[in-house]
């Protein structure tokens, strides 16, 4: 069995996420303390005791999701459960890079906190929205975006067959929804994000992030990480800093990431962090694969039990 880790990104958050894990496991709590020491941010307080308005602020969302994913990883390490390859959706790629050792825990926490601040502070003025479009193929969605005349819209995430995320100005998004439904879209879902993420509109944030990325070290690692911008694994000679700076202005090719992990022999996917959206993406690609998600005590125990049965 080859295990692949998937790490969720912004939009998967909810107030109270992982609270039962935090209350039960000292190892889990220790990660929150380390993050607090590094950033000065009380992530536990924001995660468990704030409200949606606070948690959904990009500067808070990203560090809270990252912390939860890293804390779950520590619990998996204690059970000697490890992945041979990993990937993450948007923000989740940083969790994957930290897990692989390409970026250290401390540098990873610092850069993700800074990333959240920059993406919030350098978000251009306007009324922005992100939606998931279900039931249209890539070509049709790209065509609808390129011909939208009511404002800026662009593909942001290619998640799985029949699900593509669009980012843009709210007025243009509203018109896009009408045209998408006329073209056969089965469903439109508004996401819990509010910026033109993974589009050219975050160019200034990308440039500022590159300055911060230049301050961290990139290490060699034998663990594979599949990157969002092209669905291919990081190579030793890749400019990781440049890739991550372009990451926030480039569409996420997440379906390609999953397919590449399958090509590398992954037959057990474990989603590490809040929600279980990424697990659903895998199932839409191949229902024969073992898929688990960990976001609370029950799902942690179920995942450990499932993996133990396969190994034995």
Q: Is 90 a catalytic residue?
A: yes
Angle separating helix axes 58-78 and 26-39, nearest 10 degrees = 140
DSSP label of 291: E
pLDDT tens digits for range 86-113: 999 999 999 999 999 999 999 999 999 9
**Which of the four CATH numbers 3.40.50.300, 3.10.129.10, 3.30.70.250, 3.20.20.140 does domain 128-190 have?**
3.30.70.250
Active site residue 69: no
- State which H helix or E strand residue 155 sits in: strand 153-160
Nearest CA among 114, 93, 99 for reference residue 40 = 114
At 285-309, the pLDDT tens digits run 999 999 999 999 999 999 999 998 7
Q: Which of 69, 87, 90, 245 is catalytic?
A: 90
pLDDT tens digits along 270-288: 999 999 999 999 999 999 9
- CATH 3.40.366.10 occupies which residues in the chain? 3-123+200-311
pLDDT tens digits for range 69-84: 999 999 999 999 999 9
Per annotation, catalytic residue among 87, 198, 206, 250:
198
**What is the percent of the chain with per-residue pLDDT over 70, rounded to a whole number?**
99
CATH superfamily of this structure's domain 3-123+200-311: Malonyl-Coenzyme A Acyl Carrier Protein, domain 2 (3.40.366.10)
Nearest Cα neighbor of 274 from 35, 131, 63, 113 is 63
Q: Where in the chain is the domain with CATH 3.30.70.250?
A: 128-190
Each residue of 190-213: pLDDT tens digit? 987 768 999 999 999 999 999 999
């Amino acid at each position: 069995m080859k295990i692949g880790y998937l790490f969720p990104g912004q939009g998967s958050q909810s107030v109270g996420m992982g609270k039962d894990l935090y209350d039960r496991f000292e190892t889990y709590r220790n990660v929150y303390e380390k993050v607090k020491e590094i950033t000065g941010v009380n992530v536990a307080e924001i995660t468990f005791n704030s409200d949606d308005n606070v948690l959904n602020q990009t500067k808070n969302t990203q560090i809270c999701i990252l912390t939860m994913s890293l804390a779950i990883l520590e619990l998996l390490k204690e059970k000697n459960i490890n992945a041979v390859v990993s990937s993450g959706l948007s923000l989740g790629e940083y969790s994957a890079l930290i897990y692989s050792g390409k970026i250290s825990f401390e540098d990873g926490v610092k850069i993700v906190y800074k990333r959240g601040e920059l993406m919030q502070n350098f978000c251009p003025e306007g009324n922005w929205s992100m939606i998931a479009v279900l039931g249209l193929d890539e070509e049709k969605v790209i065509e609808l975006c390129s011909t939208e005349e009511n404002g800026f819209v662009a593909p942001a995430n290619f998640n799985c067959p029949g699900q593509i995320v669009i980012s843009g100005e709210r007025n243009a998004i509203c018109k896009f929804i009408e045209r998408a439904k006329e073209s056969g879209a089965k469903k439109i879902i508004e996401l819990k994000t509010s910026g033109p993420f993974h589009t050219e509109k975050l160019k200034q944030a990308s440039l500022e992030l590159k300055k911060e990325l230049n301050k961290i070290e990139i290490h060699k690692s034998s663990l594979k990480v599949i990157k969002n911008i092209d669905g291919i694994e990081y190579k030793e000679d890749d400019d990781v800093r440049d890739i991550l700076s372009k990451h926030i202005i480039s569409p996420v090719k997440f379906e390609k990431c999953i397919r590449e992990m399958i090509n590398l022999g992954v037959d057990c996917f474990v989603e590490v962090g809040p929600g279980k959206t990424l697990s659903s993406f895998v199932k839409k690609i191949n229902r024969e694969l073992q898929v688990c998600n960990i976001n609370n005590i029950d799902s942690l125990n179920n995942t450990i039990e499932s993996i133990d049965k396969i190994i034995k």
